[in-house]
Amino acid sequence: MNPNSDTLDPPELPKLQNVGVPASADSTSSHWSPSAALQRLSSWVPIRSLARRHRQRIAQHLLGLDDRDRYLRFGYPASNEQIGRYATSIDFDRDEVLGVFNRRLDLVAMAHLAYAPVPQWSDKPAMAEFGVSVLSQVRGRGFGARLFERAALHARNRGIETLFIHALSENGAMLKIARNAGATVERDGSESEAWLRLAPDTVSSHVGEAIERHMAEVDFQFKRHARVFDDFIDGVAEVKSKFDATGKAAKQ
């Protein structure tokens, strides 16, 4: 990615930076059995897979990053136009994009798991790159670490052998997450790369991902219905206030 370019031209494997990530994460080799997933409920974060219909939400999320955060995410302070082009260029057929929504269904954290092109001699990609961003108002809640964990699980269940992380060397939080997960981190001046070998997939890892996906969908639908109800209540209150004001005016 050329810092002097006015476009986000993706290389073969996009160098997605990482911003707003907490400095702790569980190991990606953790046991993903149904009982283990239930035990994690107290610290569970609903992470939903994003699709083409979410491009606008993705763009809005990234536009909510300040210049410093954009610099950490893309390697330079991307303009609004560049962010728009980036959101439009995401290949949802190849890559996995994950998001965390708040109660108002705003996308407050997202991760992009970019799969490398499949080699001619293989039927599956051997490597994927992880990039993440978290809005400043929700940092410190473990969203970045959970997104990393979920992305690693998704890659593992698709036969990926290596998870790759490209980050600025000053992004110590992201690099600490990688190290805690057992990744090998190599620093080259202002930039660092981390390589994490993933364990082979198992029945329990697939069951764990299915549980996470189902629970996140239930959570999203609950929030959606709750928002509709809240909007209805707000509308009733607004109409009532107008009638009250009209009644008071008539009496006067």
Per-residue model confidence (pLDDT) at position 125: 61
What confidence category does residue 27 fall into, taking pLDDT thresholds of 50, 70 and 90? Answer: very low
**End-to-end CA gap in the chain:** 68
Contacts of 13 (CB under 8 A, 6+ apart): 114, 116, 117, 127, 129, 164
Per-residue model confidence (pLDDT) at position 29: 44
- Domain boundaries, position 96: 18-251
Q: Picking from 49-58, 120-129, 207-216, which range would have the lowest pLDDT averaged per residue? A: 120-129
Mean pLDDT of 226-240: 58
CA–CA dist 207, 35 (Å, integer): 11
Residue 154 placed within a domain: yes
Sign, Cα dihedral of 145, 149, 155, 161: positive
What confidence category does residue 130 fall into, taking pLDDT thresholds of 50, 70 and 90? Answer: very high
Residue 10 placed within a domain: no
Mean pLDDT of the chain: 78
| Neighbouring-strand partners of residue 168 | 191
Q: Are strands 162-168 and 127-134 parallel, antiparallel or unpaired?
A: parallel
Length of the chain: 252
CB atoms within 10 A of CB 85: 16
Residue 146 placed within a domain: yes
**Domain at 225, CATH number:** 3.40.630.30
Residue 194 pLDDT > 90: no
Residue 1 placed within a domain: no
pTM above 0.85, yes or no: no
Residue 129 placed within a domain: yes
Residue 173 pLDDT > 80: no
Residue 3 placed within a domain: no
Residue 106 placed within a domain: yes
Total domain count for the chain? 1
Per-residue model confidence (pLDDT) at position 133: 92
Residue 221 pLDDT > 90: no
pLDDT tens per residue, range 79-92: 999 999 999 999 99
Residue 219 pLDDT > 80: no
Residue 167 placed within a domain: yes
Per-residue model confidence (pLDDT) at position 14: 43
